[in-house]
């Protein structure tokens, strides 16, 4: 068919390349964007883990629910969390809310009579190329972690389980 149009084999390769190049560029850009979301999820999960452990250690030092929760929220802020100068503390639920960071004192996992800190950390990631295919301007990535101080023969160690929202780990 191309020979009838006066185009040889060399011309057909150029035409195929020109037709496929925009689709290939979009596919690569979407792949890079998806990889950045995955990297953000890992980073946020690590920040939640670190914040929960730091809060649990602070609780051991101060025995104060509010001080430990505030300390955990500040560690989350130092690691990219968006908080406020004055987080709100709800003493009836033992929950500190600090914009996109939530710290809650919950009953322990290993011992229900103990205390554990649960940190939930969310961050909005802007959509770039995917905006062409979706109405979402941003995507929310969530990390969640629980840390508990567990007594073992007179000493303490930070124990915790990490989990994350949005199906991550």
pLDDT category at 137 given cuts 50, 70, 90 is confident
Does residue 42 form part of some domain? yes
Residue 3 lies in a domain: no
Residue with tokens 């999960």: 45
Alpha-carbon distance of 90 to 110, in angstroms, equals 25
Tell if the pTM clears 0.75, that is, is over it: no
Domains in the chain: how many in total?
1
Residue 15: inside a domain = yes
Q: What is the pLDDT of residues 2-38, one digit of tens each?
A: 556 555 566 677 788 888 999 898 899 888 888 988 8
Q: Residue 165: what pLDDT?
A: 40
- pLDDT score for 99: 86
In a domain, 169, yes or no: no
Residue 44 — very low, low, confident or very high, per pLDDT cuts 50/70/90?
very high
Residues 65-89 have a mean pLDDT of 90
- Res 9: pLDDT: 61
For residue 123, give its domain range: 9-163
Separation of alpha carbons 80 and 68, rounded Å: 19
Instruction: Provide the 8-state DSSP code for 107.
Output: E
Whether residue 4 is contained in a domain is answered as: no
In a domain, 95, yes or no: yes
Residue 153 pLDDT class (50, 70, 90 cuts): low
Specify the pLDDT at position 166.
41
pLDDT of 33: 87
Give the pLDDT score at 69.
94
What are residue 61's phi and psi, to 5 degrees? -75, -35
In a domain, 112, yes or no: yes
Residue 81 pLDDT: 84
């Amino acid at each position: 068919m191309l020979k009838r149009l006066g185009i040889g084999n060399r011309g057909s390769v150029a035409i195929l390349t020109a037709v496929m190049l925009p689709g290939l560029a979009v596919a690569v850009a979407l792949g890079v964007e998806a990889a950045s979301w995955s990297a953000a999820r890992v980073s946020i999960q690590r920040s939640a883990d670190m914040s929960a452990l730091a809060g649990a250690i602070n609780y051991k030092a101060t025995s104060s629910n509010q001080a430990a929760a505030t300390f955990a929220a500040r560690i989350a802020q130092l690691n990219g969390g968006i908080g406020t100068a004055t987080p709100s503390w709800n003493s009836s639920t033992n929950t500190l809310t600090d914009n996109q960071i939530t710290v809650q004192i919950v009953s322990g996992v290993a011992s229900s009579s103990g205390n554990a800190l649960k940190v939930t950390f969310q961050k909005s990631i802007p959509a770039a190329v995917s905006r062409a295919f979706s109405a979402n301007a941003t995507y929310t990535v969530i990390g969640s972690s629980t840390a508990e101080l567990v007594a073992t023969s007179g000493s303490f160690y930070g124990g915790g389980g990490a989990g994350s929202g949005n199906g991550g780990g």
